[in-house]
Amino acid sequence: MRRVLMLLFIVVIVLPVGATVVYRFIPPPMTSLMVLRFFEGRGMDYRWRGLDEISPTLAQAAIASEDARFCLHHGFEFAAMEKALEHNEKKPGKIRGGSTISQQTAKNVFLWPNRDYVRKGLEAYFTVLTEAIWGKRRIMEMYLNVVEWGSGVYGAEAASEVYFGHSADQMTTSEAAHLVAILPSPLKWKAVHPGKYVQRRAGTVAQRVGTVRNSGLAACLG
């Protein structure tokens, strides 16, 4: 029993907390999604950049589109989760997520992409850990660096170079809005020469960026 308890302690506490502490200071070499996509033949373009090397407009666009209360909550937005559940019950063919940027980051960095209860439980656990150990700035930095933005394209720097031909620190509001607009389906939608739906989404995001900036909704990023 003592050995079992020790093993559980290592698996449940030591490894997750240790990994979270390590990634507080160094970038993850890759994620499970990157590995999966690589073996699907999509390649891997992953270039880490610090948050100061990424245009602040991109973080503002992400907040505007994905998580308006990012700087205000502690990892979870229960009202958004309830709305997503109600929507999914009514329209099971069009699943809507209610995850915050913190939850998405925890999933992207530590877990696998499938939807199941085990993963959702672990996602909640890692969300608590990252909020406590990383803080908002590191969470956003990690999110913008590991998120999938196309076939084999991960993070702001790779996406900016591939789609716009320049570094992420030069990204305009329009470019940031188009990147964020394709996040629900980055393998299907296009940031460059997009269809009408993505174009409309990008326009809405671009308008909201000003609100995020002027209302201090990105103030936690420093």
The pLDDT of residue 203 is 97
* Residue bearing tokens 């296009």: 190
- In one-letter notation, the amino acid at residue 23 is Y
Strand ranges (E), 43-170: 45-46, 153-154
Question: How far apart are alpha carbons 180 and 169 in whole angstroms?
Answer: 16
CA dihedral over 6, 11, 13, 18, signed as positive or negative: positive
Interhelix angle 56-66/136-146, rounded to 10 degrees, is 90
70 contacts 102 by C-beta, under 8 angstroms: yes
Would you write out the chain's pLDDT as a tens digit for each of its 222 residues?
Answer: 889 999 999 989 999 999 999 999 999 999 999 999 999 999 999 999 999 999 999 999 999 999 999 999 999 997 765 665 554 455 545 445 579 999 999 999 999 988 889 999 999 999 999 999 999 999 999 999 999 999 999 999 999 999 999 999 999 999 999 999 999 899 999 999 999 999 999 999 999 999 999 999 999 998
Question: How far apart are alpha carbons 183 and 204 in whole angstroms?
Answer: 14
Concatenated DSSP letters of 165-181: SS-GGG--HHHHHHHHH
Kindly report the number of other CB atoms within 10 A of residue 15's CB atom.
11
The pLDDT of residue 88 is 47
CATH class of 46-221: mainly alpha
Cα 144 to chain centroid, rounded: 6
Domain ranges of the chain: 46-221
- In one-letter notation, the amino acid at residue 183 is L
For the chain, the 3-state helix, strand and coil shares in percent, each to the nearest 5, are: 65, 0, 35
